[in-house]
Amino acid sequence: MNGRAGAMTAHKDLLTPKEVDTLARFVVDLSEARRGSDDAWKLYKEKGCGACHGSKADGILAELPNGEIVTVGAANLTDSIWRFEPAGYDSARYTILHGVNQPGVSGARSSVCPGITSPTRLENAAFSEEDVEHLALYVHELRGVAVPERTPIGEDGMWGRW
Ligand code: HEC
């Protein structure tokens, strides 16, 4: 209930423009249910993207024997949901270049999932423990399901998929 904020390194000084292009196309391929080229998968692994996004790029690092899923909050790159607007190639390229939640990096994406106890966002909301459980279940069920309509709200559209 306290929110979370994953972080992603800015790669503008770590990748050549061609590598950024290859990886952005790769992310688009995956989001449109294409496999992605072998070269792109190789680059994805070599550049350490998998350390956060997982070896299958689905955001999952491991599944524990008790069914719990280990993640660092990195996006699932294999679904059709775009975390940041305007979606597609340009978004992927921008995120790769500038990163997410990087203090001091100009242009970095900012992604904070406010805790619902946060007074600023939901000051009038009164959620019971049971409500929270229902919401958590609902979000869990939504996972991996494409949401066709987007209504951007924030400046960077970060809540656009809700
Ligand atoms: C240190 C962890 C980390 C590393 C390394 C990392 N990412 Fe990320 N990535 C994240 C997090 C966290 C987010 C934001 C998730 C959120 O807020 O929902 C993200 C978001 C993204 C997005 C935005 C997806 C969307 O739906 O808009 C793309 C594209 C992306 N990463 C690609 C890459 C690529 C390609 C690499 C390798 C060059 C990489 N990432 C390396 C953690 C990481």
Instruction: Give the CATH number of the domain where residue 71 resides.
Output: 1.10.760
The rounded Å distance from CA 75 to ligand 1 centre is: 6
The answer to the question of residue 155 being in a domain is no
How far is Cα 137 from Cα 45, in angstroms, rounded to an integer?
Answer: 32
pTM, to two decimals: 0.76
Please indicate, yes or no, if residue 39 is contained in any of the structural domains: yes
Q: Which domain holds residue 43?
A: 3-113
- Domain membership of residue 135 (yes or no) is no
Q: Does residue 51 sit within a domain?
A: yes
Decide: 158 in ligand 1 pocket, CB within 6 A. Answer: no
Count up the domains in the chain and report the number. Answer: 1
Place of tokens 């009164």: 126
- Is residue 162 included in any domain, yes or no? no
Q: State whether the beta carbon of 75 lies less than 6 angstroms from ligand 1.
A: yes
Q: Which helix (H) or strand (E) holds 63?
A: strand 62-63
Per-residue model confidence (pLDDT) at position 136: 65
3-class SS at 25?
helix
- Please report, in tens digits, the pLDDT of each residue of the chain (162 residues total): 455 678 999 999 999 999 999 999 999 999 999 999 999 999 999 999 999 999 999 999 999 999 999 999 999 999 999 999 999 999 999 999 999 999 999 999 998 766 655 444 444 455 566 666 666 655 665 555 554 454 455 555 455 444
Residue 139 belongs to a domain: no
* Residue 130, in any domain of the structure: no
Residue 17 falls inside a structural domain: yes
| pLDDT for the residue numbered 120 | 45
Q: Is 76 in the pocket of ligand 1 (CB under 6 A)?
A: no
**Cα of 77 to ligand 1 centre, how many Å?**
8
